[in-house]
Amino acid sequence: MIQKHPTKISFDWPKIPKGAKNPLGQNLSNSKPEIEDLKLTITKSIVDNESKATTFDNILNDDLVGIERQVNDILKLQFDDPKKLIHYNIDFKEIKTNISLQGDMYTNAAMYYIAIIDIYIIS
């Protein structure tokens, strides 16, 4: 069984739009991440919204392509054991797009957001 803890965001405004839900998660341990500098691709057309804050929240939480969904799917493949409880959290370290940033990344013509994360696991 897999148990998620709040996501930690390790970067600041202007990449976090005003009004976005900013999780206050902390790493579960002082140890090295189990998975480090993992790059996840999030399809921009699926998560985009007129509100930049909603777009940011969707990048984290979208049920189809969001960071938390992708990480949960990865961990289920690697660690899921119904007899063992696995605790994990995500350190969301960076967000960018698939093109050179010209202006606001939430309104540019990119096709993808790229999230760079670390995953901490305690079993």
Strands 8-9 and 35-43 turn out to be: unpaired
SS3 label, residue 55: helix
Contact status, residue 64 vs residue 112, Cβ threshold 8 Å: no
Find the range with the poorest average confidence among 13-27, 44-58, 63-77, 107-121.
13-27
- Two tokens at 47? 């998560």
Q: Is the pLDDT of residue 23 over 70?
A: no
Question: What does the alpha-carbon distance between residue 13 and residue 19 come to, in Å, rounded to a whole number?
Answer: 11
Length of the chain: 123
Say what the pTM is: 0.88
Strands 8-9 and 86-97 turn out to be: parallel
The reported pLDDT for the residue numbered 81 is 79
Q: Domain map of the chain by residue range?
A: 2-13+33-122
Q: What angle do CA 14, 17, 18 make, to 5 degrees?
A: 110
Strands 86-97 and 2-4 turn out to be: parallel
Residue 48's φ and ψ, nearest 5 degrees, are -65, 145
pLDDT of 64-114, one tens digit each? 999 999 999 999 888 877 888 888 889 999 999 998 766 788 888 789 999
Between residues 38 and 10, the one the model is more confident about: 38
The reported pLDDT for the residue numbered 64 is 94
Please name every residue paired with 66 in a beta bridge, in sequence order, or none if there are none: none
The reported pLDDT for the residue numbered 83 is 84
The reported pLDDT for the residue numbered 118 is 95
